Amino acid sequence: MRRLLIALTLAGAALRFGTLDLQSFWFDESVTVRLVGDDLFGMLGHIPDSESTPPLYYVLAWLWSRLFGTGEIGLRSLSALAGTATVPIAYSAAERLVSRRTGLAVAALAAFSPLLVWYSQEARSYALLVLLGAMSLYAFARLLRRPDRRGACLWAGASALALATHYFAVFLVAPEALWLMLRARRPGTGAAVAGVAAVGLALLPLAIHQGSLDLASFIDESSFGDRLLQVPKQLLVGYDLPVEVLLASVAGVVALAGAALAVRRMTSEHSPGLEAATGIGVVALVAPALVAVAGADYLLTRNLLAAWLPLMTVVAAGLLSVRRGEAAVALLCVAGIAGVIGTAVEPRWQRDDWRGVVDALGPAETPRAVVVTPADSGIAPFLLYDRNAERVTQAGVTVSEVALVSTRGRRGSGTHPPAPPRPTRPAFPGFNLVRREYADDFTVIVFARPRPVHLPPSTLAAYRLLSSGAGGLLLQRPVSGAAGRARRPPGG
């Protein structure tokens, strides 16, 4: 079994590290790059007003970037490492809760999960949340079997760190704490729970302040019902995958069968670990939905990632309770691998490609105005890949080139991003069309005229490619020599 676990961990590492720089940084990651580019105390000072999560990930990313840089591989490798480490930790947690066979099944599901691979390749806090949540669940399972002070300290440390990574870790940690107090009360348990509660209370003022900034308002752009229905599908097979209806349906039926079989197993035999995993998983999945209904709507699949491990433990334990249950687990893994590979080869399913946009534009030989849509998610990553560009002021710009650029406008890594805009007869009055590139995941159109002309912001913004939202306005200045343009983030 050890060899199989090592093989699964190596396979998970290959899927995560092998394509770290395949995709461009998108908006959220560009915020991370900007934060870690500051000095440590400056970064900590900016987090309360620019983020919706606690600071632990950013502190680790800041330290990591000093060793490996802020390029796609350098910065994302922290998440890839966390995602890889999750595989053996997930095994240990499921093994302690149920059995070794269940542990290996869960390790395989973690290694090949499209959702976990996706966030293992993103310079944000989610992979770290999953790892620390898995460590918390492992320590919890250890306490169920053999309560002792060392296990209590391990659980308290992992749980506190998970809370310091993402506020939604509370939906995993709180039911664990309640279960421990009711079922595994031993010396040290009460102190461990009190310590974790103290960390949560210490983070509460920051959470309230960040919540007041309404930085997650984009969540309301899709209905609560749609987001709720997306959660089980995305937890199983990610955001997009080939033959999606078929594979997602099969995976859903297999997972439901596994859950039903787990319930049957719990009614026929005493399995405290499986009972605990079921209770914790249900709370970690249902409680955020109830909180959203109550008015604090932050329901997104990525915020529910801490629920993945206990839920998959229940599914795997149920499937393995019947003959040939391994085949059903393997089917879920095959669907996962299809999703991972499909995302790697299909640009439409990847993150917004602002690196591709900047590369397609090429260096400006004369001053060039750029109209960026969507502006709210495009300006920051564009400026990340073109350090010589700057925002257009209210005074306007004098240019002889105008570029209209756009990605698909995908928000919050939602399912099925729309196609990028592709006007059949692009025009900009007074300018001639000189080139255009209609890629799978972005559009670049460049107009030029012999002599420069002054253009106010209102004129430029009127020709944005996406009709919804405002167009972001940038100015690309000409630079001398190929080395003059910083096209990639430092270390990239």
Q: How far is CA 465 from CA 8, 393, 408, 427, 449, in A?
A: 45, 20, 10, 11, 20
> Average pLDDT in the 403-411 region?
81
pLDDT of residue 431: 97
pLDDT of residue 484: 47
Least confident interval from 197-201, 252-256, 484-488: 484-488
Using CB atoms within 10 Å of the CB of residue 50, give its burial: 0 to 12 exposed, 13 to 18 middle, 19+ buried: middle
Greatest Cα-to-Cα distance within the chain, rounded to the nearest angstrom: 83
Phi-psi region of 418 (alpha: psi -120 to 50; beta: other; left: phi over 0): beta
- Res. 491: pLDDT tops 80: no
CA angle, 408 then 409 then 410, to 5°:
95
CA 228 centroid distance within chain: 17
pLDDT-based confidence at residue 482 (cuts at 50, 70, 90): very low
Query: Residue 234 corresponds to which tokens in the numbers above?
Result: 């995305």
Place of tokens 């002599």: 451
Is residue 466 within 8 A of residue 374, CB to CB? The reply is: yes
Per-residue pLDDT tens over the stretch 113-151: 999 999 999 999 999 999 999 999 999 999 988 888 899
pLDDT-based confidence at residue 483 (cuts at 50, 70, 90): very low
Per-residue pLDDT tens over the stretch 189-244: 899 999 999 999 999 999 999 999 988 888 887 889 999 999 999 999 999 999 99
Is residue 157 within 8 A of residue 188, CB to CB? The reply is: no
Per-residue pLDDT tens over the stretch 30-80: 999 999 999 999 999 999 999 999 999 999 999 999 999 999 999 999 999
Is residue 441 within 8 A of residue 26, CB to CB? The reply is: no
pLDDT of residue 148: 85
For residue 305, how many other CB atoms are within 10 A of its CB? 24
Per-residue pLDDT tens over the stretch 143-178: 988 888 899 999 999 999 999 999 999 999 999 999
pLDDT of residue 216: 81
Residue 266: in which H helix or E strand, if any? Answer: helix 244-268
- Res. 488: pLDDT tops 80: no
In this predicted model, which residue has the larger pLDDT, 484 or 472?
A: 472
- Res. 435: pLDDT tops 90: yes
Q: What does the DSSP assignment read for 288-334?
A: HHHHHHTT-----GGGGGGGHHHHHHHHHHHHTTSTTHHHHHHHHHH
Given the DSSP bridges, would you call strands 368-373 and 397-406 parallel, antiparallel or unpaired? parallel
The average confidence (pLDDT) of the chain is 93
- Res. 413: pLDDT tops 50: no
Going by C-alpha positions, the residue among 374, 405, 51, 416 that lies closest to residue 222 is 416
pLDDT of residue 284: 97
Rounded Cα distance, 90 and 107, in Å? 6
pLDDT of residue 409: 60
Query: Residue 158 corresponds to which tokens in the numbers above?
Result: 């992992």
Domain ranges in the chain are 2-349, 354-484
Percent of the chain with pLDDT over 90: 83
3-state secondary structure of 424: coil
Per-residue pLDDT tens over the stretch 341-394: 999 999 989 999 999 999 999 999 999 999 999 998 899 999 999 999 999 999
Q: What is the DSSP letter of 240?
A: -
Going by C-alpha positions, the residue among 341, 12, 52, 306 that lies closest to residue 168 is 306
pLDDT of residue 215: 83
Is residue 116 within 8 A of residue 129, CB to CB? The reply is: no
Angle formed by the axes of helices 126-145 and 170-183, nearest 10°: 10
